[in-house]
Amino acid sequence: MADSPKSTLKCFRHRKVNVKFMIISNNNRKGWRLLAAPFIFCILLLAAPLTMMFLLSFWTQDYLTLDRTFTLNNYIEAFTQPVYQLLFSRSLFISLTVTFFTVILAYPMAYFISFHGGDRKALWLFLITIPFWTSYLIRMFLWKVILGYNGVLNSFLIWLEMITEPLTFILYNVNAVVIALTHGWAPFAILPIFVSLEKIDRSLLEASRDLGDGPIHQFFRVILPLSAPGVVGAALIIFIPTVGDFITPKLVGGPDGLMIANMIQVQFLKANNAPLAAAISISSLMIVAFISIVFVLVNRKYLRRY
């Protein structure tokens, strides 16, 4: 008999495979049809400009004319001139310090909200984000008001008679930039760490307690490793954009607190040396990407999904 149950089944299976194949190709088409517009938008406004900037970094600009012969001179200048070396290392130092302090301060806060927030968790999160919904520029400017020679902090400390002369090491230098940025990026650390703490299955904590872990052991062996994705995420979210900030150094940094982004801005807009600015931008992007990738790889054993 040709139509044995077995062959029908076989035929059916065959059809099923076909249907599956059709669904996949259908999915491909439908998925891409929807994704096309945003994808093309990003090609035009992100990939193309970045490529253009990459090309530009190998050219030279003489006043207003652009010489399109390939040269590595811009990169050589960016990496050998002491002023750029100084700005690169200072920017990295500031960003890494800011990242460190922000995460260190944010962690206990996130921990407090997640483990002791009770039914007021949402309220705490709301309270934390409120001060950050005014203009970034104005917030950074207010740090100048707080840290200045006649500033809020100095007047307060003099009023308390804790100091007689205003403190001067807190404005127009690297310290001021670090303080202002540590404040400005706080929610970007608190929120991801909070989310990762919330995800921890509380029964794991009971288990570790039952198995004899004290609070300190429990924290370092269970909670901290499980919240690592949030910590790593927070660190990257803060580290990457702060390297490129030029508002804060310009407002509170003074000449000794300027960062690489200030140089990019000056070279691009004022000195009319777009190719050099492009080379510095590409270099900082590479350095930031390299550090971020190393950081993720170092922490990769904690980033597995549990």
In the complex, minimum distance from the CB of residue 219 to other proteins, in angstroms, rounded to a whole number: 10
In the complex, minimum distance from the CB of residue 24 to other proteins, in angstroms, rounded to a whole number: 8
Pick the closest to residue 126 from 180, 194, 227, 196 (CA basis): 194
When asked if residue 133 is in the footprint of other proteins (CB under 8 A), the reply is yes
Nearer to other proteins, 11 or 49 (CB): 49
In the complex, minimum distance from the CB of residue 118 to other proteins, in angstroms, rounded to a whole number: 12
Residues 84, 88, 101, 143: which binds other proteins (CB under 8 A)? 143
When asked if residue 281 is in the footprint of other proteins (CB under 8 A), the reply is yes
When asked if residue 131 is in the footprint of other proteins (CB under 8 A), the reply is yes
Tell me the backbone φ, ψ of residue 300, rounded to 5 degrees.
Answer: -65, -30
Residues 65, 80, 135, 164: which binds other proteins (CB under 8 A)? 135
When asked if residue 38 is in the footprint of other proteins (CB under 8 A), the reply is yes
Residues 247, 258, 276, 279: which binds other proteins (CB under 8 A)? 247
When asked if residue 277 is in the footprint of other proteins (CB under 8 A), the reply is yes
Nearer to other proteins, 174 or 183 (CB): 183
Nearer to other proteins, 49 or 85 (CB): 49
Strand partners, 65: 62
When asked if residue 49 is in the footprint of other proteins (CB under 8 A), the reply is yes
By CB neighbour count within 10 A (0-12 exposed, 13-18 middle, 19+ buried), where does 99 fall?
buried
Segment near other proteins (CB under 8 A), from 8-16, 26-34, 192-200, 296-304? 26-34
Nearer to other proteins, 64 or 211 (CB): 64
Binding residues for other proteins restricted to 165-194, rule: CB under 8 A: 183, 186
When asked if residue 27 is in the footprint of other proteins (CB under 8 A), the reply is yes
In the complex, minimum distance from the CB of residue 9 to other proteins, in angstroms, rounded to a whole number: 27
CA distance 281 to 175: 24
When asked if residue 142 is in the footprint of other proteins (CB under 8 A), the reply is yes
Residue 122, both tokens: 């949402």
Distances from the Cα of 61 to the Cαs of 7, 101, 153, 235, 269, in angstroms? 74, 41, 47, 37, 13
